[in-house]
DNA sequence: GTTTTTGGTTTATAATATAAACTAGTTTAT
DNA sequence: ATAAACTAGTTTATATTATAAACCAAAAAC
């Protein structure tokens, strides 16, 4: 019957899922790009990136674009696997 | 490109999603059954059923099985549509 | 008849998401 | 040259949500 394996709480969040979803198809993205695409506030994004980074799901690189700070994000192997597992688990709920 | 339409927060919750997922395939379920299947505490389920019911996603019927109280849940048309919409939106995130 | 179990609800607490306020620096206009 | 406004974020406070603990009424077991 239905397998209701708990869903990774780190990914089962509107904004973090949106971010990781974008990173899955882009491989690398800038902070401002994520802000635009998700429509979330900068503060919210900052917090969620921190959580994903702390969990090792993404890697954050800080540099400069000209003179302005530039935050770039990239999904890690760990994040990729976590996402795939999440999707697999989720499908049991929605199919 | 990716359509990150916000996910219905009422459904995007581990436990409520599990409950609605079960109701989708069962059409009707008892409180104790949901408790068993989800592994959640009775209090948690009680609260989440209330929220789903208030939103009109499920219909709750209170009766008696012999002499014991019996709470039965059934998904409504509104709930069914909401679930379908949720799944549709979600697929943009995970596919 | 009192203890335990069943089937819940209510309420308190912990976790999470979100936005508001702030920082540090840059560009623009005066 | 300097004040005003903007960029790119971070930190912190608040609102929301999830969850569990405590509770209640009735029934069943002892």
What structural domains does chain B harbor?
14-89 (1.10.10.10)
Structure tokens, B16: 């409520």
> pTM to 2 decimals?
0.93
What Å value separates CA A66 and C1' C14?
Answer: 44
CB contact under 8 A, A25 and B2: yes
For residues A57 and A82, the answer to whether their CB atoms sit within 8 Å is: yes
Q: For residue B73, what are the β-bridge partners?
A: B29, B60
Q: DSSP secondary structure string, A39-95?
A: ---HHHHHHHHHHHHHTTSEEEEEEEETTEEEEEEEE-HHHHHHHHHHHHHHHHHH-
Predicted pLDDT at A2? 82
The chain B residue lying nearest A86, using CA atoms, is B94
Predicted pLDDT at A81? 97
Tell me the mean pLDDT in the region A62-76: 95
């Amino acid at each position: 019957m239905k397998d209701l394996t708990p869903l990774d709480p780190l990914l089962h969040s509107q904004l973090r899922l949106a971010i990781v979803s974008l990173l899955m198809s882009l491989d690398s993205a800038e902070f401002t790009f994520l802000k635009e695409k998700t429509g979330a506030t900068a503060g919210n994004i900052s917090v969620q990136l921190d959580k994903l980074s702390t969990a090792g799901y993404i890697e954050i690189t800080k540099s400069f674009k000209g003179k302005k700070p530039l935050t770039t994000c990239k999904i890690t192997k760990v994040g990729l696997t976590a996402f795939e597992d999440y999707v697999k688990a989720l499908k049991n709920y929605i199919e």
